[in-house]
């Protein structure tokens, strides 16, 4: 719904000051409410419809089907930010397609309450990640202990194939590059989920989203806030209360949930609500689809093939982030200086490379994965924005190039020693940078896979829960009574005959409306416009847990 951006002449100075750090649509809802309040008639008639619109905004998923590829757009729960603030939230049981399916892509971006994309210079999306899990039926929020992790009787983490043993277990995850980084899995491949044979008895597959966002409106040092420099956050301990070492000057340990980066005066009270809007594409599983394995490699991995003291392989201890020193500090020339960080590692099970992409922060200039013989398996280069609009923000990485080799053309052998290289500009110091590499690998196909889709066939399905149907009909009932009352009064004034509803018929009417929430979707379809109900089983109520879960929870990025 479009609402005019009108500012009343009577607006206070507080509203004007807020406008300095807040988007122009800040007063839209206040304007709407004030206009409704001026007319009890309008408010009485419009309130049920407004309530319905707000409910449908977060409860309706429209499923599109094109050539057998289904897609749906969802909203995360709302999170609030004000200048300099940080959210690092975990949302359990998010809306997600159900059933035995193959995921084809997952894209996400931050939007405001009106659905407008939010630019990075206002809200920096440090990262979002999606984790798969099996959760005991009937448990809304799994038990958690900072030392023991999740209580395994409630929740079982279903991580990717590896290779990191601490964190980085997500199926999908991006940061500032989210709007212009391709995530689609090409045919004939797919990420298999929802296989009933793999889900333990008494559990169901659930999905968790972690959102880490930093509001940089009015920030004294915008880049310093996005790089989580500890002095700007006035932080000396991590989210668990542990004292930070003297050498740790910036990174995830300083910009956890509810911390505050330093901002200019006058920009501390302009809160706003944001959402993650995410689009999922999938196909129903069948034997023609080749499953892929998800590997996330980290340039900070401290793994070694053989430990000198034991003669055994060490664990893949991924540190996730690191620091880039400036050329001036290292004595290197400032002209074109580059920080190159390398690590050697191997995949337990190789195969055909299907897809590859790197994840870097501001200052990154590219990352490359090499084979044991020095061949380039995949090189991923960042794109920096040049404007102000969302998706083209100057100075930010707004996209990463991806690799899509022809099926079977790029292979990795089992146990092959690979080299991951991450390059950053070191013209200045950068804290909390990352050098991750996301890789999809599939077993070689024994023969060409004649994977094809039917001719173009597009249709849409709308999933609306019973509660929303009940709310809709309740709103209609309230509106109808309002119209009757208004017409009755109007009849006295302009000569039209009023419509009378007897007390008995009115009570019967409301009794029927009150029972709507108990009806099945098929009954509701008899009372509402025809809609095709999806069988995917969403949306559902989403639960939230604060980020005290911290970096022990395997969504770390």
Q: Which long-range contacts (CB under 8 A, 24 or more apart) does 321-324 make?
A: 321/251, 321/252, 321/432, 321/433, 321/434, 322/433, 322/434, 322/435, 323/249, 323/250, 323/251, 323/429, 323/430, 323/431, 323/432, 323/433, 324/363, 324/424, 324/426, 324/429, 324/430, 324/431, 324/433
- Residues whose CB is less than 8 angstroms from the CB of residue 475 and which lie 6 or more positions away in sequence, other chains included: 48, 49, 51, 52
pLDDT for 189 = 97
φ, ψ of residue 471 in degrees (nearest 5): -65, -40
Coil, helix or strand for 291?
strand
Q: What is the DSSP secondary structure assignment for residue 120, as one 8-state letter? A: T
What is the distance between the alpha carbons of residues 253 and 248, in angstroms, rounded to a whole number? 9
**Report field, pTM of the whole predicted structure over 0.85:** no
Taking only the tens of pLDDT, the chain with its 557 residues reads: 332 232 333 333 444 444 445 443 433 443 334 444 444 444 444 454 444 444 444 444 688 988 889 999 999 999 999 999 999 999 999 999 999 999 999 999 999 999 999 999 999 999 999 999 999 998 877 766 555 556 667 888 899 998 998 789 999 999 999 999 999 999 999 999 999 999 999 999 999 999 999 999 999 999 999 999 999 999 999 999 999 999 999 999 999 999 999 999 877 668 999 999 999 999 999 999 999 999 999 999 988 776 655 555 678 889 999 999 998 877 666 557 999 999 999 998 999 999 999 999 999 999 999 999 999 999 999 999 999 999 999 999 999 999 999 999 999 999 999 999 999 999 999 999 999 999 999 999 775 544 444 433 444 554 544 444 455 555 555 555 454 444 444 444 443 333 333 333 333 333 333 333 333 333 333 333 333 333 333 344 555 555 444 444 444 55
| Domain chopping of the chain, boundaries | 60-442
C-alpha angle 332/336/340, rounded to 5°? 70
Q: What is the Cα 325 distance to its own chain's centre? A: 31
3-state helix, strand, coil split of the chain in percent (to 5) is: 20, 35, 45
What is the distance between the alpha carbons of residues 181 and 360, in angstroms, rounded to a whole number? 12
What's the number of CA atoms in the CB half-sphere (13 Å) around residue 536? Answer: 29
Q: Are 299 and 342 in contact (CB under 8 A)?
A: yes
What is the distance between the alpha carbons of residues 458 and 69, in angstroms, rounded to a whole number? 9
């Amino acid at each position: 719904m479009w609402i005019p951006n009108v500012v009343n002449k009577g607006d206070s100075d507080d509203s004007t000051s807020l406008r300095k750090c807040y988007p122009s649509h800040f007063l839209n809802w206040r304007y709407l409410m004030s206009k409704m309040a001026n007319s009890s008639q309008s408010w009485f008639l419009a309130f049920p419809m407004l309530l319905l619109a707000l409910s449908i905004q977060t409860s309706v998923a429209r499923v599109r089907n094109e050539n057998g590829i289904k897609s749906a757009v969802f909203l995360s729960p709302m999170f609030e930010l004000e200048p300099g603030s940080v959210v690092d939230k975990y949302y359990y049981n998010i809306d997600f397609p159900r059933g035995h399916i193959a995921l084809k892509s997952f894209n996400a971006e931050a939007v405001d309450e009106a659905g407008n994309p939010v630019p990075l210079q206002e809200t920096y999306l440090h990262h979002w990640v999606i984790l798969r899990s099996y959760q005991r039926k009937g448990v809304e929020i799994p038990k958690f202990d900072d030392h023991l992790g999740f209580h395994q009787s409630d929740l079982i983490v279903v991580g990717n194939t590896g290779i990191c043993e601490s964190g980085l277990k997500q199926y999908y995850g991006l940061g500032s590059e989210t709007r212009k980084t391709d995530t689609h899995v090409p045919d004939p491949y797919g990420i298999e989920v929802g296989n009933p044979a793999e889900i333990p008895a008494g559990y169901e597959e659930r999905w968790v989203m972690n959102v880490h966002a930093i509001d940089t409106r009015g920030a004294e040092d915008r880049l310093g806030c996005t790089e989580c420099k500890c002095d700007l956050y006035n932080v000396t301990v991590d989210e668990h209360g542990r004292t930070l070492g003297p050498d740790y000057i910036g990174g995830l340990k300083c910009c956890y949930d509810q911390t505050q980066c330093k901002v200019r005066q006058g920009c501390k009270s302009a809160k706003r609500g944001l959402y993650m809007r995410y689009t999922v594409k999938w196909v129903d599983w069948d034997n023609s689809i080749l499953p892929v394995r998800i590997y996330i490699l980290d340039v900070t991995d401290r793994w070694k093939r053989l430990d000198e003291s034991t003669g055994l392989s060490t664990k893949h201890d991924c540190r996730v982030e690191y620091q880039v020193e400036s050329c001036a500090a290292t004595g290197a020339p400032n002209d074109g200086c580059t920080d190159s960080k390398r690590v050697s590692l191997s995949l337990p099970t190789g195969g055909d490379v299907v897809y590859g992409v790197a994840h870097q922060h501001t200052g990154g200039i590219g990352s490359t994965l090499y084979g044991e013989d020095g061949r380039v398996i995949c090189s991923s280069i960042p794109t920096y924005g040049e404007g102000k609009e969302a998706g083209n923000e100057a100075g930010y990485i707004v996209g990463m190039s991806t690799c899509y080799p022809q099926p079977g053309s790029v292979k990795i052998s089992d146990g092959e020693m690979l080299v991951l290289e991450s390059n950053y500009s070191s013209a200045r110091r950068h804290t909390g940078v990352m050098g991750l590499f996301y890789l999809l690998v599939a077993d070689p196909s024994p023969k060409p896979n004649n994977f094809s889709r039917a001719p173009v066939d597009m249709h849409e399905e709308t999933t609306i829960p019973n509660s929303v149907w009940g709310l809709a009909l309740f709103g209609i009932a309230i509106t109808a009574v309002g119209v009757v009352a208004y017409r009755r009064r109007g009849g006295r004034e302009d000569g039209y005959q009023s419509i009378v509803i007897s007390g008995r018929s009115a009570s019967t009417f409301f009794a029927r409306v009150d029972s709507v929430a108990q009806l099945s979707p098929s009954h509701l379809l008899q009372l509402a416009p025809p809609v095709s109900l999806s069988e995917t089983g969403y949306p559902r109520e989403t639960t939230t847990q604060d980020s005290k879960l911290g970096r022990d929870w395997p969504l770390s990025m």
